[in-house]
Amino acid sequence: MKNKIIVITGGASGIGLAIINELVENNTIISIDRNPVKIASLKSTLPKVDSIKADVTSSGELDAALAHIDKTYGKIDLLINNAGKGGQFDFINTDEKKLMDNIAEEIAINYTAPIMLSKKALPLLKKSTEPAIVIVSSGLAYVPMSFLGTYCASKAAIHFVTMSIRLQLESLKIRVVEVLPPIVDTVLSKDATAYKMPPEKFAKIFLTKFSKGENVMNIGQTSGLEKFSRFLPKTAFKMLNKGGN
Ligand SMILES: NC(=O)c1ccc[n+]([C@@H]2O[C@H](COP(=O)([O-])OP(=O)(O)OC[C@H]3O[C@@H](n4cnc5c(N)ncnc54)[C@H](OP(=O)(O)O)[C@@H]3O)[C@@H](O)[C@H]2O)c1
């Protein structure tokens, strides 16, 4: 990919940062992040990246970010909705307020924000000759893990809406891609004990599939999970959770 104006959320760490590292040399990258420490680190390691401070759940902050992008670059070729959040789900032992706060945060970041930002970005995407939106969901959109129950539900929700948006944006010739990562070695997966794909490897696979024109990317273990979820859903649930009926 060359000479594209690329906007990515949560680009200051993990998967987002690995994708930026692959693209920064030949493209213009704008990263939207909310964490000032991470933003400072991104600015010092990759000064070429235009780093904007905004929380993806804030309509006003996204409007300000897009106004800057409009004024500075005039269009968006590729919008990558990558920012995400996931925490442990303990239905019995978490008090009700914390439980509901966690759910609200996961829904706001993983589900509502990609829809809101994609909608707000439409006028700028329409100015591109080859516009595309990427949604980073999860292999766990296919099969839930009990201890991540609400995170998986938020990813299943964005998985379904992405299919709707893809169909509806066909008329505008805007490509809509969903990438469903396996376990990738980032802060988000720090508690996982299974094999974790290095983020650099994940970014390379994602970009290869993107350039081949794939719109639904089941990467690594997600590929098997998707097949099990269709043909043997109960077995898939038991495999991930060591229980269930
Ligand atoms: N790692 C995995 O195993 C895995 C598997 C499947 C899917 N995914 C998905 O991959 C994406 C990237 O995750 P990752 O693994 O790279 O984790 P990560 O290193 O934690 O990266 C996520 C980034 O999103 C940022 N972010 C979160 N909420 C935000 C908000 N409201 N506004 C702006 N930025 C925000 C985070 O920063 P702060 O929270 O510090 O602001 C962080 O920099 C996520 O959507 C995740 O669900 C990851």
Contact between residue 220 and residue 179 where contact means Cβ atoms under 8 Å apart: no
Atom 46 in ligand 1: which residue has the minimum CA distance?
A: 84
pLDDT reported for residue 242: 78
Is pLDDT above 90 for 205?
Answer: yes
Give nearest CA residue, ligand 1 atom 7.
138
In this prediction, residues 166-192 reach a mean pLDDT of 96
List domains and CATH numbers for the chain.
Answer: 5-241 (3.40.50.720)
Q: Is residue 243 scored above 70 in pLDDT?
A: no
**Rounded to an integer, what distance in angstroms lies between the CA atom of residue 205 and that of residue 91?**
36
CB of 114 within 8 A of CB of 120? no
Chain centroid offset of residue 36 CA:
20
Whether 11 is in the pocket of ligand 1, judged by its Cβ within 6 Å, is: no
**Cβ atoms of residues 142 and 222 within 8 Å:** yes
**In the predicted model, what is the mean pLDDT of the chain?**
96
Distance 187 CA to ligand 1 centre (A): 8
Residue located via tokens 């290095």: 198
pLDDT at residue 2, as a whole number = 96
- Determine if the pTM surpasses 0.85: yes
Residues 6+ apart with CB under 8 A from 197: 181, 182, 183, 184, 185, 219, 220
- Give the pLDDT confidence score for residue 213 in this predicted structure: 98
Beta carbon of 131 within 6 Å of any ligand 1 atom: no
In the predicted model, is pLDDT for residue 244 greater than 80? no
pLDDT category of residue 58 using cuts at 50, 70 and 90: very high
What band does 52 get if pLDDT is binned at 50, 70 and 90?
very high
3-state secondary structure of 5: strand
182 and 197 Cβ atoms separated by less than 8 Å: yes
pLDDT at 194: 87
* Measured CA distances, 163 to 157, 158, 159, 177, 230 (Å): 10, 9, 7, 9, 17
pLDDT at 193: 86
**Dist. CA 164 → ligand 1 center (Å):** 23
- Rounded distance from Cα 110 to ligand 1 centre (Å): 9
* Band (53; pLDDT cuts 50, 70, 90): very high
Mean pLDDT, residues 53-61: 98
pLDDT at 245 over 70: no
Residue 56 reports pLDDT greater than 90: yes
Judge whether residue 211 has pLDDT over 90: yes
pLDDT of 153 over the 90 cut = yes
pLDDT tens-digit readout, 69-123: 999 999 999 999 999 999 999 999 999 999 999 999 999 999 999 999 999 999 9
Question: What is the position in ligand 1's atom list of the atom closest to the CA of 155?
Answer: 47
